[in-house]
Structure 1
Amino acid sequence: MEVRRREGYHGTGPGAITPDGCAVELYSRIPVDDSPDLIARSVPAGATILELGCGVGRMTHPLLERGFTVTAVDESPEMLERVRGARTVLSPIETLDLGEHFDVVLLASFLVHAGSEDVRRGMLRTCLDHLAAGGCVLIQREGSDWHDVVPRERKVGDGVARVLSSEPVGPGVNSVHFEYAFPDAVWTQTFLSRPLSTEQFEQALAEVGLRVDAYLTDDGTWVRAVPATTT
């Protein structure tokens, strides 16, 4: 598969850089948060999970440890080389067509905020098309003030992640610039993000035939969605 840089996305720093500007070595250093526990509480035990945009397996590996069967998808071969114990698939999310169905489809890492509306629709259609009867989609959203509280920083392992800027570059689209500083290396990532209010997010789901089943966190950043025809 030919891998092309996504327009408006780029990154700098040591090692391989993915089409959306992520540094493989950087993401191998960033520890996972409590998201695997939240996922485990929100879906049936032992479910089959299609993880879209798995990266180096930061969530894949904890989900495997919790007894789930995971198929991990990413468009970066260098990312997939770091994944252990799961079936891996090399593909952009928006064009994926496995002809298979899963109990859970996972779209984390704020991917639903893709700068391109066509890409976002493609990702959400992929979620719906790969969902088994009675299954659900788990989606991670940006926080309501994610683009407003800038600059900001947080600790990541023995380094610091800084959101340096979030600037409008088109109707409804921001260019976001990150810096990750570690004692021995610095990486940057620039990507496009389309902020979505709750109403806009729910409309985006409705466009492809999904609806919110439940907001799983008080801040609404994790959502369980199901087919709109589900009663």
Structure 2
Amino acid sequence: MRTGHQGTGPGTITPDGCAVELYTRLPVRNEPDVIAAAAPAGASILELGSGVGRVTHALLERGFAVTAVDESQEMLEHVRGARTVRGAIEDLDLAEVFDVVLLASFLVHNADVEVRSRLLRTCVRHLAPGGFVLIQREGEGWYRDLPRESVGPDGFTSRLVSSEPVGDGVYSARVEYEFPDAAWTQTFLRRELSPEQFEQALADAGLSVDEYLTDDGVWVRAVLAG
């Protein structure tokens, strides 16, 4: 398990605290709609951190060609219909490029600044001329007014319990998921990024914001700078 990351509950837990079975149960939200609205029809998409394929499968149904990357083989075993690649995202080099590179799941908020930089450089390395990166970032106030919970359509409760500072702009966050027949927790480290810090991180990697795609600023389209 990575330092500062922990998960509990039934089944396999990945090094970053994610429970594989939990992610097979979580519903898809608006991610595929946002991506499909931004990406050209039939575009090739490199999905970094695909997990079990919740978003992957929805993109395939919309006609995109998806290469799904994850470091967990247990996660990738649930992906159907897409090319899969197992490996650490920050070290990925497929020697090919894609119309769209997708960095979702708030990976840009990695607590380790060097890892974040390498993640963004992976995006740049795999970007085709004229292509763009779609990044999912935390919305403003995402971790305020805690604890906070919501009840999902499948009868489960997700609860954002806490986000406590642990130094140098890093926070330890804890989430709980309760289903009628099982429960999971995940504790992970995250780094807050103001809009200015986020855009500077992109600039350091050779990217710039093309457009904030959603009113809450969560989804961003980035292009090669200059």
Question: If the length of structure 2 is used for normalisation, what is the TM-score?
Answer: 0.98
The 2-side partners of 1:210 and 1:69 are apart by: 24
Specify the alignment match of 1:118 in structure 2.
Answer: 114
* Root-mean-square deviation over aligned CA pairs: 0.7
1:149 Cα deviation (Å)?
2.3
- Confirm or deny that 1:165 pairs with 2:162: yes
**Alignment match of 1:106 (pick from 98, 102, 108):** 102
1:35 Cα deviation (Å)?
1.3
Equivalent residues in 2 for 1:66-85, closer than 5 Å: 66-85=62-81
Specify the alignment match of 2:182 in structure 1.
Answer: 185
1:19 Cα deviation (Å)?
1.2
Q: Which runs of 5+ in 2 are unaligned?
A: none
SS in 1 for 2:95: coil
- Confirm or deny that 1:140 pairs with 2:125: no
> Which string of whole-angstrom CA distances, capped at 9 and with x for unpartnered residues, describes residues 144-174 of structure 1?
1012121101123221110111000111000
- Confirm or deny that 1:42 pairs with 2:38: yes
Specify the alignment match of 2:196 in structure 1.
Answer: 199
Identity of aligned residues (%): 68
SS in 1 for 2:54: coil
The 1-side partners of 2:199 and 2:177 are apart by: 32
Q: For this pair of structures, how many residues does the alignment match?
A: 225
Specify the alignment match of 2:221 in structure 1.
Answer: 224
Specify the alignment match of 1:60 in structure 2.
Answer: 56
SS in 2 for 1:112: helix
- Confirm or deny that 1:211 pairs with 2:203: no
1:34 Cα deviation (Å)?
1.6
1:28 Cα deviation (Å)?
0.4
1:181 Cα deviation (Å)?
0.6
SS in 2 for 1:38: helix
Question: If the length of structure 1 is used for normalisation, what is the TM-score?
Answer: 0.96
Most deviating of 26-35 and 148-157: 148-157
> Which string of whole-angstrom CA distances, capped at 9 and with x for unpartnered residues, describes residues 194-218 of structure 1?
0111000000000110000000001
The 2-side partners of 1:71 and 1:6 are apart by: 26
The 1-side partners of 2:27 and 2:121 are apart by: 30
Q: Which runs of 5+ in 1 are unaligned?
A: none
**Alignment match of 2:93 (pick from 92, 97, 105):** 97
